[in-house]
Structure 1
Amino acid sequence: MRQRVFPILLAVAAAAVTTTAGAAPSSPADVKMPAGWSGSYATLPGQDKAFINDLERRTFDWFWDSADPKTGLVPDHFPGKSFSSIAAVGFALTGYGIGVERGYITRAQAVDRTLATLRFFSDAPQNASEDEATGYHGFFYHFLDMRSGRRDARWVELSSVDTTLLMGGVLFAQSYYDRDTPKEREIRQLADQLYRAVDWPWMQARKPLISMGWTPGGKFIPADWKGYDEGKLVYILALGSPTHPVGSDAWAAWCSTYPKQWGTFEGYTLLNFGPLFGHQYTESWVDFHGIRDAWSRAHGLDYAENGRRATYAQRAYAIANPGHWTGYGPDMWGLTASDGPGDVSLPSAQGERHFHGYMARGAGLGDVHDDGTIAPTAAGGSIAFAPTIVVPALMTMKQRYGRYIYDRYGFVDAFNPSFHGTPKSGRTYPGFGWADTQQLGIDQGPILLMIENWRSGFVWNVMKKNPYIRRGLERAGFTGGWLTPR
């Protein structure tokens, strides 16, 4: 369950599959592309490439600098005091491998940080108590106290999706650290142990679906993962488990609401989910280019193509700008779950405007939540889907507003040029608007992982070697592409 203050219920362009009838063209005429650029990282002009390199390094540094080196716990938000987000830990574990490949850190440094993290979670108490546990039944609490490593507060749930995102990093570590050394052998052993311990059927309060979470006081949350969103990875890992797998009927149940989500938004026919994180989280670890389940086979596209269309549809929504928000346009767009200026109402030429704090902003069929707040991760996390529109957008954000929104750790979490009041968090700048003063781990993660997937396919290629990922996809009915036996 993606939550900070409330629950939200909710590689390269050349690899894209054929567009189905009713979808907009793959490259709208108004897309601004650098002269001679094909969409690949290799052919990106030097100055633009330097910007992407800088953004990737700064985003990596956020994880490396913010994590506790003794426990591996990563804060939900940083700088500033914060609890730990287990999902951010999953992105961090994956990011350390990127750091090795890019030369930001040594392999020995990555091994030590990864081993500390896996040892912490392996040794952490698992029980049904309110306050003295880190997890239960192999799952972990969404937010942990950065010092004690225990459940941060009684409103925090044992989270199925955040455990899943943690396990994305755990399984990455299992497959990446493949050398025959004592430390790397221990990484593989601990990673396997942690994944095998997750009791997925226990989380099926209403089989065959998987619940969003559990609390000792309230027991199972009365909401399940059902329908297209970031929950894809929950089911893939639950199906792939060698010890506690869910039944093969779980994937079909998950897909059962797809017909309601399939439709045309801003000229693009796709499986709709408004916030872009729903198209990015699973895809940060799993390469869906060329592999299809029963639904995608019947509709002539894969989930990577669906993510590309969602990205283009959001850009088209910003160009249309029905809310008349300041700054929106072809190279200024991006709605997803992010921080905001706070629950504040202000007068404007369009009437009273209502702004929000952390919220799942998005734009899709029947799913538009927009208060003028742009999150760079919305575009950045889609760079592997649609680089020809993402790179110009990220560069425009920095060139236009960089002094307010780009710091030592890359882009701040969000900004809003339409907000000129007194914010509940962040800062308002005269002549600009509102900008956050921090980054969030779950928003930094897609930027870092998807830049590298676009550049080299690195994370995807490591995960392709993981037998549990393959088994989960195959049990969900995926075939073709890299899943085809050689």
Structure 2
Amino acid sequence: MNNRILLSIIALAISGIFLIACNNSSKKEPATTGEESRPASFASDDELLDFIQKKHFNYMWEGAEPISGLAPERIHMDGIYPQDDADVITTGGSGFGIAGLLVGIERGFITREEGVERLHKIADYLAAADRFHGVWSHWLHGPTGKVKPFGKKDNGGDLVESAFLMQGLLCVREYFKAGNESEKQLAGKIDTLWREMDWTWYLNGQDVLYWHWSPEYGWEMNFPLEGYNECLITYILAASSPTHSIPASAYHNGWARGGDIKSEAVAYGHPLVLKHNGAEAYGGPLFWSHYSHIGLSPKGLKDQYADYWQLNRNHALINYEYCVENPKGFEGYGDNCWGLTASYSVNGYSAHMPVKNDLGVITPTASLSSFPYTPEQSMKALKHFYFDLGDKIWGKYGFYDAFSIQDNWYPQRYLAIDQLTITPMIENYRTGLLWNLFMGAPEIQEGLKKLGFTYEN
């Protein structure tokens, strides 16, 4: 089953949850208390970026599920919230949020001691939560750590979401491993979780990684991880594991499809380099260039298939130039209002992308999490979103998930997987903090060599 079908299935699943939410408004979010206030001006662009990072960081800090300290799947500020959804935490989105906690420490949003305390809580929770051969599920029930099924058969291990989670955790391990006694203990807890992940189990006896395994349904979900999409980090971690490392052949035969992953597609003069699973002409949704690269630095990263900096930068530039061209004539699109990726939509949840699925919906995380690749274009979008559209798209935890000027649609809703990439990716643009931490991990360096990557910082 290819990634197009996978995205459609996930979109349908989340759309169903979205529709439940729309029909159930009995659980209200508390009234806001001025937290969504917006300064009218800033002394510099750096001051603006500080403010933006802090607001989005707060989704993971102030907005965390209280028992786990992890990120709630969604937060709705418009009074629409499923009754059974308030305690649902997301493992992948939490991985992005965990990386953001390090940014919060570095930027002084929280103290180092506060960060360590929260991260101990998270590590202890994850050690006690349901795992499947060391791998967590897509969703967990916050108060208990038990699986919250993402779908009927998706009630076991989710290798990709767990990879996003471990990517953030390894950044934390590297950040604290030479610290004081409490910090070293934290690093040790994370190292144990890392070593307990059985990546080889998820080969399913074949030469490709599989996304899901359930003790009830086995491999019935049947999603082999074939590139190119958001899942590259899964292969990097699986090859880097000190205890359950997969063979390099799984990367080359599975992910790279025996070399068939290479592409000659060009859009707006920008080569795409790799096939994007059915979105070859213009690239897929922009989260494909964000999720795996919270820690995995594309700068100077190359293998026999691609230069990953070129790949990601071109992906973002194509998305930008498509929105500027605006072939479907949607109101609001332009050089200061761009960014198509998976998010809420006028019709539920949808993986927005150029040409194939452009619904007139702009998702702020698409351009803001692309800051490392398109700094000038992203800054222009940020200022437009903030100063011109802020009255409609700004709230307690920063920019709301998505909007459509075309349809006069401005929902006051957040999704963790979109909200929590903004702070770390802006930080990677500014200082390379998370890239340096993750790429400095000894196992990651060995894993990259094993797969045939070269890396020049």
Selected match of 1:463 from 417, 424, 438 = 438
Question: In structure 2, what residue type is equivalent to 1:469?
Answer: I
| Deviation sequence 1:12-52 (CA, Å, 0-9, x none) | xxxxxxxxxxxxxxxxxxxxxxxxxxxxxxxxx94433322
Question: In structure 1, what residue type is equivalent to 2:141?
Answer: D
**Deviation of residue 209 (structure 1)?**
0.9
**Deviation of residue 71 (structure 1)?**
2.0
- What pairs up with 1:175-254 in 2 under 5 angstroms? 175-205=174-204, 207-220=206-219, 221-253=221-253, 254=255
In 2, the alpha carbon distance for the partners of 1:93 and 1:320 equals 37
- What pairs up with 1:116-195 in 2 under 5 angstroms? 116-124=121-129, 134-153=130-149, 155=152, 156-157=154-155, 158-195=157-194
- What pairs up with 1:104-123 in 2 under 5 angstroms? 104-123=109-128
Question: In structure 2, what residue type is equivalent to 1:395?
Answer: K
Change (3 A) 1:150 1:111: same
| Deviation sequence 1:346-391 (CA, Å, 0-9, x none) | xxxxxxxxxx21111112xxx6211111100100111011101111
In terms of mean alpha carbon deviation, does 319-328 or 259-268 score higher? 259-268
Question: In structure 2, what residue type is equivalent to 1:359?
Answer: S
Flag structure 1 segments of 5+ consecutive residues without an equivalent.
9-44, 125-133, 297-301, 342-355, 420-432
Match of 1:284 in 2: 294
In terms of mean alpha carbon deviation, does 263-272 or 143-152 score higher? 263-272
**Deviation of residue 304 (structure 1)?**
1.6
| Deviation sequence 1:194-245 (CA, Å, 0-9, x none) | 1111111111126211111123333212121101111110000000001111
**Deviation of residue 457 (structure 1)?**
0.9
Do structure 1's residue 63 and structure 2's residue 65 form an aligned pair?
no
Do structure 1's residue 417 and structure 2's residue 414 form an aligned pair?
no
**Deviation of residue 149 (structure 1)?**
1.6
Match of 2:376 in 1: 388
Match of 2:331 in 1: 326
In 1, the alpha carbon distance for the partners of 2:205 and 2:351 equals 26
**Deviation of residue 72 (structure 1)?**
2.1
In 2, the alpha carbon distance for the partners of 1:119 and 1:293 equals 37
In 2, the alpha carbon distance for the partners of 1:362 and 1:315 equals 11
The answer to whether the 8 Å contact 2:160/2:211 transfers is yes
In 2, the alpha carbon distance for the partners of 1:261 and 1:358 equals 29
In 2, the alpha carbon distance for the partners of 1:262 and 1:399 equals 40
The answer to whether the 8 Å contact 2:97/2:421 transfers is no
Match of 1:336 in 2: 341
TM-score (normalised: structure 1) = 0.79
The answer to whether the 8 Å contact 2:133/2:198 transfers is yes
In terms of mean alpha carbon deviation, does 225-234 or 72-81 score higher? 72-81
Percent of aligned positions that are identical = 30
| Deviation sequence 1:260-316 (CA, Å, 0-9, x none) | 6441123321134310000111112111211211112xxxxx212211111111111
The answer to whether the 8 Å contact 2:59/2:397 transfers is yes
Match of 1:293 in 2: 303
Do structure 1's residue 400 and structure 2's residue 397 form an aligned pair?
no
Change (3 A) 1:307 1:46: farther
In 2, the alpha carbon distance for the partners of 1:206 and 1:325 equals 48
The answer to whether the 8 Å contact 1:69/1:113 transfers is no
Flag structure 2 segments of 5+ consecutive residues without an equivalent.
1-5, 16-41, 277-282
In 2, the alpha carbon distance for the partners of 1:290 and 1:165 equals 21
In 1, the alpha carbon distance for the partners of 2:207 and 2:92 equals 24
In terms of mean alpha carbon deviation, does 254-263 or 455-464 score higher? 254-263
In terms of mean alpha carbon deviation, does 174-183 or 233-242 score higher? 174-183
The answer to whether the 8 Å contact 1:83/1:144 transfers is yes
Match of 1:358 in 2: 349
**Deviation of residue 62 (structure 1)?**
1.3
In 1, the alpha carbon distance for the partners of 2:209 and 2:336 equals 38
3-state SS of 1:144 partner = strand
The answer to whether the 8 Å contact 1:86/1:142 transfers is yes
3-state SS of 2:284 partner = coil
In 2, the alpha carbon distance for the partners of 1:218 and 1:480 equals 40
3-state SS of 2:110 partner = coil
**Deviation of residue 175 (structure 1)?**
0.5
Q: How many residues align?
A: 402
Match of 1:50 in 2: 47
The answer to whether the 8 Å contact 1:275/1:360 transfers is yes
The answer to whether the 8 Å contact 1:305/1:385 transfers is no
Change (3 A) 1:413 1:279: same
